[in-house]
Chain A
């Protein structure tokens, strides 16, 4: 198995396309190395993208943020401005593995591993993030909710890689939040994850809301009905109850070693409601 560490995007793309599918991108490696050790993947070439400046840059752009795909979780958590703008996305990043794992793991890797329970993806969906992809045919941008195809499968074509995420401008009185349910307080895979991103108008009425759920279907879901339950309301108990019901209704979960169908359906509503309450509280504070 060969290892290459190109310092330009073009070199990386050339290496990936030239390996006819036998190459894997190495960012943090905290999922890839586990799969290599268990024999689930046996690449001939690893393309380490951490030396490519664009992929490790976090910059304000068009009022929003462009977040390099290879920035580590700890670097994101420690970026005060980003954490102020998108506390919900940072909630998700904070849940990924241990402090040690977050010292290496990246949002790009978390997304491309394509686990339905990925902790950083629901908040990115709720935020309306775009995935910026580079490949042999140039660049393209995809709404993140459409990026993952199913467990372990993305919509990347041969030779393509995720370069960055583009987050829209934050209007005033906006707030987002992500919560997940796990049996332990840390070091767990989400049994259910829920992200809410909302904006209040100057009279405190919800003018915009996106809700996303993780670990309750083959991939993280955008749940329009759940968002709709909040829009036009003061996010009172009735609205939150409608949100919870919509969230539970959207679940298409499986029974597995981490939880039963009934459990995921019920707890999805609970997590969505609790996340909405936190998002509202944050929106109130965000002028």
Chain B
């Protein structure tokens, strides 16, 4: 079960839940599981969220594997100028 943490900017879409554990093997499964549990989060997930897996940031990396004991943090995507 990977430990999932959400940045506080996503709290409004998860009724304030910011930490949970999920049985997921990659980022895509993570988004599906979160989308089912928190429908309001769904529109933000696929294109608007970056994922930090054991402190390495992955943007748009749906197939990136998530290990059993990984620590995963969801953050909003970063763009630049």
A–B touching in complex (CB under 8 Å): no
On A, residues with C-beta under 8 Å from B are none
On B, residues with C-beta under 8 Å from A are none
